[in-house]
Structure 1
């Protein structure tokens, strides 16, 4: 019904339709994970859902960013279709790199919104330490996961923790797709694209081994 495009979840009917998909088979365990985390953190914690248009429990790659922005808080999804420039950059760059979103899911090092009503603040060490406590539980729900892509310096602080809880995972790192990075220097977008292309090459190598 809806074309997969940047900022799609800024359209009210598209958002309503996406919410109706939360309990589809491939994403239902992740939806339950978010609901449990919300119960644990309390009513004040704003924790967006995983996007049903991604791979859900069938994902092979987890993209881990910093924390949900205000648009993710408003839409209720961690999604490349959110109506903000970071999500748009992520949508366009992963598409250009040839990465099938059905092979991926997207999450945050700090799963809940941090900041004021109008502006997110940067995640600090305490945020990250608290945020990654549930990461092992998430990974246990992903039987096909092979790699985590840590996007940005804050997410990369989770690297040692990931090595401890899931040492078999391949860890990729790349810059955060925010406009602050992508638009800062002329070559930055290309740097990010090339690193995402390396992730796609990793996926293709796995397909070759499987076949």
Structure 2
């Protein structure tokens, strides 16, 4: 597991991001980043955040789906909990509190393309586009056990393709919860922690099963 000392937020010019850029073609993230380039090209060359090799990529047992890619930006960014923003901070704190390894998670967005109005709800068309892209990502995952839909846009995208998703992944555990920044009241924060505690427990079970399969 990554040392907690290395979980601090990384500012734009932190050497950590150069390490992520150098690792973009590693086997566990290369298929995702190829898909991301294709999705961006299909929208006229939009820049999408890439999959960070610090996380588990296609080998992760859990796919974390957030809302969207935010506003269009020129700099290369990554879907990573070390990003210097409040949502990443909150998720990083939850992962640290419940001892969740960064390699257990792969990140995605319900609507993966940047939007000029990221605070608006997704239109039905955007939800469907996001859901179709989500299905493409899930098709790359090696041993997906959990789909974490964190926020309304993530849930709307999944719901737009839910019959196909359920048919393709009948045993997949789907968790619906608040966006990392959605817990504004004490009761919401308590519920958010309950959900993440359950996520951690199930990821622990997944690791134990994998270890048992490796025993002679």
* TM class by smaller structure: 0.7 to 0.9
Structure 2, gaps ≥5 residues long: none
Are residues 1:138 and 2:137 paired? Answer: yes
Correspondence for 1:193 = 193
Distance 1:9 1:52, change over 3 A: farther
Correspondence for 1:176 = 179
* Shift of residue 52, structure 1, vs aligned partner: 1.0
CA RMSD for the aligned pairs?
Answer: 2.3
Alpha-carbon separation, structure 1, partners of 2:72 and 2:129: 22
Are residues 1:127 and 2:129 paired? Answer: no
* Shift of residue 120, structure 1, vs aligned partner: 5.0
Of the candidates 4, 9, 19, which is equivalent to residue 7 of structure 1? Answer: 9
Correspondence for 2:39 = 37
**SS of the residue aligned with 1:42?**
coil
Correspondence for 1:205 = 205
Correspondence for 1:46 = 47
Alpha-carbon separation, structure 2, partners of 1:176 and 1:195: 12
Alpha-carbon separation, structure 2, partners of 1:145 and 1:29: 15
Single out whichever of 4-13 and 28-37 deviates more from structure 2. Answer: 4-13
Structure 1, gaps ≥5 residues long: none
* Shift of residue 48, structure 1, vs aligned partner: 0.9
Distance 1:30 1:201, change over 3 A: same
Correspondence for 2:100 = 99
What's the TM-score once normalised by structure 1's chain length?
0.86
**SS of the residue aligned with 2:6?**
coil
CA contact (8 A) 2:36 2:50 kept: yes
Single out whichever of 153-162 and 70-79 deviates more from structure 2. Answer: 70-79
CA contact (8 A) 1:6 1:83 kept: no
Q: Superposed, which structure 2 residues align to 1:59-138 within 5 Å?
A: 59-70=60-71, 74-115=75-116, 121-138=120-137
CA contact (8 A) 2:111 2:153 kept: no
**SS of the residue aligned with 1:193?**
helix
Single out whichever of 141-150 and 65-74 deviates more from structure 2. Answer: 65-74
What's the TM-score once normalised by structure 2's chain length?
0.84
CA contact (8 A) 1:56 1:104 kept: yes
Alpha-carbon separation, structure 2, partners of 1:15 and 1:205: 32
* Shift of residue 126, structure 1, vs aligned partner: 2.2
CA contact (8 A) 2:47 2:73 kept: no
